């Protein structure tokens, strides 16, 4: 079969490296999500679902120059992302989690500019009564993740830096949107050997 090259409508949604989050009962938990698109977006719609059916946050974004506006939300859910910055961050904060909040959270994005391309990514949330020492390394990871929102935000910032770097590299080259359907992996085209033209100033 001949390889045919076509424009890929590459809408991607990512929740970072880890797709499981453990939260302490009564705490606030950050559910991270960013999206990328090769050709930009207009009137983009994003929705967060709990266990695939219950809509807990629904927002719309006119253009890259504007922040999302709220269409509807669960009162305990707060939008903490930003879309006018470098990355299209549509993360939410779930306040005062309890055991009934454990389950699957899905971040879903639909972009009319890409022939209504849709994409989603999910996070599994576990809610625990207290941190139990089972095995040292596991405990350390859990305590690291749930050691308050600060720990989680730091973890999120680190993941974001990596995601931002990859997004920056792919967005810099519009031809990254041209992909062949032969299944060749061309992800490194935009990454290897391309110079970082901007240093991100560390946030104080």
pLDDT band at 187; cut points 50, 70, 90: very low
| pLDDT top residue among 83 and 167 | 83
The β-bridge relationship of strands 20-24 and 117-128 is parallel
CA distance 167 to 148: 28
User: Mind giving me the DSSP string for 63-120?
Assistant: -TTS--EEEEE-TTEEE--BSSSSSEE--EEE-S--GGG-EEEEEEEEEGGGTTEEEE
pLDDT of residue 139: 46
| Nearest alpha-carbon partner for 13 in 156, 165, 99, 123 | 123
Opening angle at CA 169, ends 164 and 171, nearest 5: 90
Give 18-76 pLDDT, tens digit per residue. 788 999 999 999 999 999 888 889 999 999 999 999 999 999 999 989 999 999 999 99
pLDDT band at 188; cut points 50, 70, 90: very low
10 Å CB burial of residue 193 (0-12, 13-18, 19+) is exposed
CATH class of the domain defined by 12-128: mainly beta
Give 67-117 pLDDT, tens digit per residue. 999 999 999 999 999 988 878 999 999 999 999 999 999 999 999 988 898
Opening angle at CA 64, ends 59 and 70, nearest 5: 15
Mean confidence (pLDDT) of the chain: 75
Helix (H) or strand (E) holding 137: helix 136-146
- Structure token pair of residue 189: 């085209």
Bridge partners (DSSP) listed for residue 6 = 179
Q: Please tell me the pTM assigned to this model.
A: 0.62
């Amino acid at each position: 079969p001949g390889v045919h090259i076509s424009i890929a409508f590459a809408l991607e949604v990512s929740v970072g490296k880890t797709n499981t989050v453990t939260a302490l009962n009564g705490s606030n938990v950050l559910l991270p999500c960013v999206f990328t698109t090769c050709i930009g977006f207009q009137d983009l719609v994003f929705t967060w679902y709990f266990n695939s059916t219950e809509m807990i946050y629904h927002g719309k974004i006119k253009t890259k120059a504007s922040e999302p506006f709220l269409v509807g939300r669960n009162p305990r859910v707060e939008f903490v992302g930003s879309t006018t910055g470098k990355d299209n961050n549509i993360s939410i904060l779930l306040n005062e989690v309890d055991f009934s909040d454990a389950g699957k959270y899905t971040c879903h994005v639909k972009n009319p500019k890409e022939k209504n391309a849709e994409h989603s990514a999910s996070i599994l949330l576990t809610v625990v009564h207290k941190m139990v020492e089972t095995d040292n390394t596991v405990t350390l990871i859990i305590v690291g993740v749930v050691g308050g929102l600060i720990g989680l935000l730091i973890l999120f910032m680190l993941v974001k830096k990596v995601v931002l770097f990859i997004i920056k590299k792919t967005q810099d080259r519009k031809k990254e949107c041209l992909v062949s359907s032969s299944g060749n992996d061309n992800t490194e085209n935009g990454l290897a050997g391309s110079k970082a033209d901007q240093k991100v100033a560390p946030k104080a």
